[in-house]
Structure 1
Amino acid sequence: MESNLSGLSVFKKQTSTLLLSLALAACAEGPTSSKQLATQGLLSGELSPNGYLAVIGSVHHGGSFWNTKKKERLYDWNHKSGEYSSIRASAVSGDGKRAVTCQEKDLVLWDATNGKSLQFWQAADRIEAISLNQDGRRALLGLRDGTVNYFDLDRGMAIHSFKHNAPIRATDLSEDGAVGISAGDDNIAKIWNLKTGKEQYALSLNNQIKTAAISDSGKLAFTTSQREDALVWDTKTGKSKFKFKNRYINYTSADFSDDEKYLTLGTFQGVISKFNIKKGTEVKTWQAEPRQAYGGASSKAIIDVIDQKSNVIALTSDGMLEVFK
């Protein structure tokens, strides 16, 4: 009987959270403009820090690079001529001049100013997550075997190599590239000092970590795992700065504001929320609109989100670029 009551309690919590999520979505504002970037959805995608550029990996038509301000495709990027690549990890540099696309173990570095490939490298295992520094010369790679490499993309060599005990699901870099975060299926988020090659802090959670982000200064981190509070925490001490109590909401993307006062989060359900970190309050909520009401194109999980102060820009899993006021 205790087991049944416990299950009923969990069901009630999940149901109430779902109803709350639906209520928030019902009163949230939709996009002011949108553009279809892929016909069958996205495997991966990342916006530049200013939100004006995007690299994506589509389900059936390979990789491409976009000017989001003009809503214009600039280049089609695939790893082999005449074939569409399945780009499951991608990233753009802070200055928008370089980008990377990853298919299994293979990584291609692209010149985003002219669309030409610069380098081709192969990792030891499948690349699950990747982040670029400001000028796109270095990358933080997370691999399926739990390896994290701080990699020199021009010379094709690892500057530092770190380790988790399970596949990596998320990586991110501070603006100056001096601090990095990696998180994975071993339920641990690790902060790395990339100047010294030393572990700065490790935060253990009870479940797999799917989403992680670091602020521009490298002082704050965000992590979220299923059925646990999502956290904003100090990267040197692990001290919690802000805790999100909605344990059944699946956060899929995160972006700290430039001044680190706000955090914008995207969810699997397509809800985007902006929070004041210091006050612990929600500032505004938006709701992404799917291309279709049902079927594959009804998916609207937020793959990446950028707060531009005046606008919020998001990439959704159904292949849409959406802009919110």
Structure 2
Amino acid sequence: MLAKLFTLACSIPFIVACSSGDAVSTSELASQGLYSADISDDAASSLVGSIQHGGSLWSNQKNERRFNWNHAKDEFTPLISVDIDPSGQYAVTGGARTLVLWNIVTGQSEGFWNTPGDIKSLMASNNGDFALVGLDDQTARYFDVKNGGIKQTFRTGAVVRSVSLDKAGSLAVTGDDNYNVTLWDVKSGQKLHQWQLSNRIANATLSLDGKYVFAAAQLGTAKIWSTSTGEVVSEISTGGLTSRNITYSRAKFSEDSRYILLGGINSSVKLLNVLSGESLKSWTLNKKDKLRPTGSSVLAVAFSTNDRFYAIGSNGLLNILR
């Protein structure tokens, strides 16, 4: 952990202007593309929901499939959303209306639940005790995925497209189709802050320490706010002045909350300074067929050591970036 923080602190400040990086390597996690993906916080594992073969957990270091995870025997489940918990010991997968908790060490399922609406997004709490699930019934539900039951219901008045938790499990954020980004107290269920962007919310992400919220609208604005004051910390450029606006489909804060990785639906990945919003480095994900290139949306991003970063595209490729 100290090595990870030391590497980030020492290497990133020397990037004084936005520069383009390279993909160190790529590996194929799915042949026909992906519905969903996540990378563990230590970048050791990738979890994907493939179009052709359902869910699978991969070792990034060995580039090998560890487990196949589906919600019904002899069937491939279309997984709408997947997440690996901050401890890296558990994962949650979401089908249309089914939610499953998996043990990453054993590969076994430890909880299977039905949801009251169609799943749009989800996130597992630390140690996989709970899962925050965004639904099409205009709510986000906080499930006890180990014991069963709904611990909290957050009513938004619109379809919830994106959800996130801090590592302590005390704060939750939702992004909905009414253009609202809402910060919630998990224990009481009360709204702490609410902000509005220019379109439906494509992504809403909390930093692990709960200090910041990032959110981006579809083809619209993107901002970072302070959870304590509710004030804007930085506004993120989406390219509207020079080209069509970027939609940021994925975000992850560094462990010290100084930096944020953003992935776009246009195959772009950016590293930014949280306080200034300045872009420090950028990449474009590799394409499978260079003779017939097709773009891919970024489904997952992660920080790693040695000034390297990870990203998974909807084309099924895991990219290691530097």
How far off its partner does 1:166 sit?
A: 1.7
Does the residue aligned with 2:205 lie in a helix, a strand or coil? strand
Alignment partner, residue 38 of structure 1:
30
Take 2:291 and 2:69, find their aligned partners in 1: how far apart are those partners? 30
Mapping 1:57-136, distance limit 5 Å: 57-136=49-128
Amino acid at match of 1:317: S
Take 1:245 and 1:275, find their aligned partners in 2: how far apart are those partners? 10
Take 2:159 and 2:219, find their aligned partners in 1: how far apart are those partners? 20
> Is the aligned partner of 1:283 residue 2:309?
no
Does the residue aligned with 1:213 lie in a helix, a strand or coil? strand
Mapping 1:257-296, distance limit 5 Å: 257-293=254-290
> Is the aligned partner of 1:298 residue 2:294?
yes
Take 1:59 and 1:159, find their aligned partners in 2: how far apart are those partners? 32
Structure with higher Rg: it is 1
Take 1:301 and 1:45, find their aligned partners in 2: how far apart are those partners? 11
> Is the aligned partner of 1:253 residue 2:250?
yes
Provide Cα deviations, 1:192-250, integer angstroms capped at 9, x if missing partner. 11132221111122310011111111110001113533101112332111112324111
Does the residue aligned with 1:135 lie in a helix, a strand or coil? helix
Range moving further from structure 2, 67-76 or 243-252 = 243-252
TM-score (norm 1): 0.88
Alignment partner, residue 185 of structure 1:
177
Alignment partner, residue 206 of structure 1:
198
Distance 1:282 1:68, change over 3 A: same
Alignment partner, residue 208 of structure 2:
216
RMSD of aligned Cα (Å): 1.8
Residues 201, 236 of structure 1: 8 Å contact kept? no
Take 1:28 and 1:142, find their aligned partners in 2: how far apart are those partners? 35
Find the partner of 1:50 among 42, 50, 53. 42
How far off its partner does 1:278 sit?
A: 2.4
Alignment partner, residue 4 of structure 2:
none
Distance 1:236 1:74, change over 3 A: same
Q: Unaligned 5+ residue runs, structure 2? A: 1-17
How far off its partner does 1:277 sit?
A: 2.1
Take 2:67 and 2:87, find their aligned partners in 1: how far apart are those partners? 17
Take 1:182 and 1:201, find their aligned partners in 2: how far apart are those partners? 11
Take 1:237 and 1:49, find their aligned partners in 2: how far apart are those partners? 27
Find the partner of 2:303 among 297, 307, 314. 307
> Is the aligned partner of 1:155 residue 2:147?
yes
Take 1:69 and 1:115, find their aligned partners in 2: how far apart are those partners? 18
Does the residue aligned with 2:23 lie in a helix, a strand or coil? coil
Residues 197, 221 of structure 2: 8 Å contact kept? no
Take 2:321 and 2:253, find their aligned partners in 1: how far apart are those partners? 17
Amino acid at match of 1:321: L
Alignment partner, residue 6 of structure 2:
none
Take 1:67 and 1:177, find their aligned partners in 2: how far apart are those partners? 27
How far off its partner does 1:294 sit?
A: 6.4
Amino acid at match of 2:281: K
Alignment partner, residue 233 of structure 1:
225
Residues 273, 279 of structure 2: 8 Å contact kept? yes
Provide Cα deviations, 1:245-301, integer angstroms capped at 9, x if missing partner. 324111111111111111111111211111112233221111211111366x72321
Residues 31, 324 of structure 1: 8 Å contact kept? yes
Take 2:126 and 2:150, find their aligned partners in 1: how far apart are those partners? 18
Provide Cα deviations, 1:70-120, integer angstroms capped at 9, x if missing partner. 211100011111111111111111111111111111111111111111111
Q: Unaligned 5+ residue runs, structure 1? A: 1-24
Take 2:295 and 2:268, find their aligned partners in 1: how far apart are those partners? 12
Alignment partner, residue 14 of structure 1:
none
Distance 1:228 1:70, change over 3 A: same
Distance 1:73 1:206, change over 3 A: same
Take 1:102 and 1:229, find their aligned partners in 2: how far apart are those partners? 28
How far off its partner does 1:135 sit?
A: 0.2
Residues 220, 247 of structure 2: 8 Å contact kept? no
